[in-house]
Amino acid sequence: MGEALKPGAVIGILGGGQLGRMLSVAASRLGFKTCIYEPGGDCPASHVANFHFQKSYDDEAALRQFGESVDVITYEFENIPTSALDILEALAPIHPSRRALEVSQDRLVEKTFLRDLGLEVAPFANVESRDDMDAAVAKIGAPAILKTRRFGYDGKGQARLKSADDATAAWEAMEGAPAVLEGFVEFSCEISVIGARAQDGQVACFDPGENVHREGILHTTTVPANVPARLRTDAVLVAGRVLNALDYVGVLGVELFVTPAGLIVNEIAPRVHNSGHWTQNGCVIDQFEQHIRAVAGWPLGDGSRHSNAVMENLIGADMERVAALAAEVGAGLHLYGKAEAKPGRKMGHVNRISPKG
Amino acid sequence: MGEALKPGAVIGILGGGQLGRMLSVAASRLGFKTCIYEPGGDCPASHVANFHFQKSYDDEAALRQFGESVDVITYEFENIPTSALDILEALAPIHPSRRALEVSQDRLVEKTFLRDLGLEVAPFANVESRDDMDAAVAKIGAPAILKTRRFGYDGKGQARLKSADDATAAWEAMEGAPAVLEGFVEFSCEISVIGARAQDGQVACFDPGENVHREGILHTTTVPANVPARLRTDAVLVAGRVLNALDYVGVLGVELFVTPAGLIVNEIAPRVHNSGHWTQNGCVIDQFEQHIRAVAGWPLGDGSRHSNAVMENLIGADMERVAALAAEVGAGLHLYGKAEAKPGRKMGHVNRISPKG
């Protein structure tokens, strides 16, 4: 396998949540060991990993020890402190690259990157001051949505503007954080593509799924997406373009709005993605294994879909439905081992499969 | 779920090999923690478990500590010392039950149990002395096969008799261990059924697979088995009968010979079984999760098959083929994380799936 990691090698994973947990399981399937770096104790990923550094991201000695004890480093979230990456990159290869992180950590950089690539994005404007805000509203119009440039997820760090009158309230909701004003896009549905790129440049994408959100959090992903075949192809081509432009290694999630004028890229995530969880029960090789294969220098696996699938997230009190879900025919249940089912917290998901027909 | 274990509960597993490893992964999927008891260090199961007691089976204090820190106990091999079970059963429920272990630990007890259940088995006779050997050969005839009553696996502890002249050599090969002489069965193929029984008596079986052995070790399992539908149904009924007779909780493997006169039971294994590994890529719920569900008091899952499958074991030097296997379309690779690829050692397996048609 050339420079591919051999079974027995150690894969370091930054972040110990459910994505790290499912990456660890996928790594074990290929005979790799995993080492989790996560400040929190009893974290989901540590339950199924060989090693757990329960250390802070500003503990330089711990970061150094971690970097020296792994053969490659990957991550399950995009907001890794730059200072930690500076230390780690001298010690082991990091996949996906820092360029992918830089692009996706900042909405302004991300939108600019996508636009410069010739992809369609919502109209946007940088907002770093109250004056910027007025200029942005004048340029973009309303309705619009103001989003913090960094650290937003699951609908957090966002404020909607129904009209220009909401500009002050929206700006104040950012609490001084740099933001981006995005024009409101009239879309019929959201789809996403989970793409993967190997170290030799090989690209493979899973079939696009159709996403439904509730209260800003992904609720279901349905595969195949109920959109014309032409748009499914377009979506895959968009993912391929982003993967190649970033010289990307690993799995990337691309969220797209379906509009009468075609696809508009909403955002990209340089990691395995919630909307790709269906692959665990719909494909021979799931997104987690695909990611591990890429970062380990292995060939990508066969991501073709053997079944149709609907993934449903289990959030907070949905855990009360576990007994019923466990008895459901055709349902694959995946729980994350989190102790407390807080409102809005992702506790697990269920993949319902049916024949491809 | 009544007395079902809640996510977060700890499942104790005796034995840390690949079966324990894949049981741990399945347990994590349902939100359980796992605790492995295994004297060997760096064992396959410990890589994906929360806890590992690296202690001997005669360490009473360690066994006690293990028993007190888990909510239920199961195992991945049938030769657990009775003294260890005596200590553990006072501390936590053990599934499958000791009766299942007693039956499967001793070939004489096993064959007698199966025969008394009205199932067809090969003719057999107990051999505890040189005199018994002569009586057994006179009763059973030749060709025949002499097997130690206990601790045999993968063709070990067996001696073939082509004629009565081989009796002395066969007896001496047992080195004084009690044995059973079994009449040679002319069979067209071997099939196996992986059955499961829940705590409420619910029974579910996976589709029977057809097994091919090489040098006494399972080489491939093909599903569906290429035998008449009637025999596949018979096989499932045999498994159901054994499960109910033992008031069994968990997954059980039943190996059967297909003969012109119908099915003959070869042996049963009170655990997940190598010939059930195909379920990982052929079903929504695999044999490992089915076992965890049963021992945790959950309902059994949907074990229906969405694809055809051929499982191939990777033994010793087969590891040199990993690079090629990783690039194969339709192939799910599963490696066990064992450091050394010794001849005859099970290092992993590959599941090749194809549409059910």
* Region(s) of chain B under CATH 3.30.470.20: 189-355
**Set of chain B residues whose Cβ sits within 8 Å of the Cβ of A332:** 284-285
A322/B353 CB distance under 8 A: no
B41/A contact by beta carbon, under 8 A: no
pLDDT tens for each residue of B150-166: 876 666 789 999 999 99
Residue A1 predicted with pLDDT over 60: no
**Set of chain A residues whose Cβ sits within 8 Å of the Cβ of B316:** none
The correct CATH number of A123-183 out of 3.30.1490.20, 3.40.50.300, 3.20.20.80, 3.40.50.1970 is: 3.30.1490.20
**Set of chain B residues whose Cβ sits within 8 Å of the Cβ of A326:** 1, 30, 293, 298-299, 301
DSSP state of A121: B
- What per-residue confidence (pLDDT) applies to A2? 44
pLDDT tens for each residue of A234-261: 999 999 999 999 999 999 999 999 999 9
pLDDT tens for each residue of A282-292: 999 999 999 99
In percent, the amount of chain A with pLDDT more than 70 equals 98
What b/e string do you get for B229-242 counting C-beta neighbours within 10 Å, with b at 16 or more? eebbebbbebbbbb
pLDDT tens for each residue of A34-77: 999 999 999 999 999 999 999 999 999 999 999 999 999 999 99
The CA distances from residue A124 to A105, A133, A180, B350, in Å, are: 16, 11, 6, 49
B23: helix, strand or coil: helix
Of A28, A332, A337, the CB nearest to B337: A28
Structure tokens at A315: 């959030």
- What per-residue confidence (pLDDT) applies to A19? 98
Residue A153 predicted with pLDDT over 70: no
The CA distances from residue A311 to A253, A287, B55, B89, in Å, are: 16, 14, 41, 40
- What per-residue confidence (pLDDT) applies to B151? 78
pLDDT tens for each residue of B240-286: 999 999 999 999 999 999 999 999 999 999 999 999 999 999 999 99
B332/A48 CB distance under 8 A: no
**Set of chain A residues whose Cβ sits within 8 Å of the Cβ of B24:** 48
Selection from B351, B34, B302, B112 nearest residue A301 by Cα? B351
A42/B contact by beta carbon, under 8 A: no
Helix (H) or strand (E) holding A279: helix A279-282
B337/A47 CB distance under 8 A: no
The reply to whether A158 sits in an annotated binding site is yes
- What per-residue confidence (pLDDT) applies to B1? 38
Residue A323 predicted with pLDDT over 80: yes
Chain B residue closest to A286 (CA)?
A: B332
Least confident of A55-59, A172-176, A256-260, A323-327: A172-176
* Region(s) of chain B under CATH 3.30.1490.20: 123-183
Q: Which ranges of chain B have pLDDT less than 70?
A: 1-2, 152-155
For domain B10-94, give the CATH number.
Answer: 3.40.50.20
Rounded to a whole number of angstroms, the distance from the CA of B334 to the nearest CA of chain A is 5
Of A50, A306, A334, the CB nearest to B353: A306
B10/A contact by beta carbon, under 8 A: no
**Set of chain B residues whose Cβ sits within 8 Å of the Cβ of A335:** 7, 29-31
pLDDT tens for each residue of B134-145: 999 999 999 999
Rounded to a whole number of angstroms, the distance from the CA of A167 to the nearest CA of chain B is 45
- Yes or no: domain B189-355 corresponds to CATH 3.40.50.300: no
Whether residue B50 contacts residue B73, with contact meaning beta carbons closer than 8 Å, is answered with no
Whether residue B292 contacts residue B26, with contact meaning beta carbons closer than 8 Å, is answered with yes
Selection from A96, A98, A97, A44 nearest residue A272 by Cα? A96
Residue A143 predicted with pLDDT over 80: yes
The reply to whether B195 sits in an annotated binding site is no
Selection from B189, B193, B262, B203 nearest residue B230 by Cα? B262
* Averaged pLDDT of chain A: 95
Measured distance CA(B235)–CA(B238) in Å, rounded:
5
What was the ipTM of the complex prediction? Answer: 0.94
A278/B contact by beta carbon, under 8 A: no
Selection from B290, B292, B201 nearest residue B245 by Cα? B201
**Set of chain B residues whose Cβ sits within 8 Å of the Cβ of A1:** 322-323, 326
Average of per-residue pLDDT across A164-184? 93
* Region(s) of chain A under CATH 3.40.50.20: 10-94
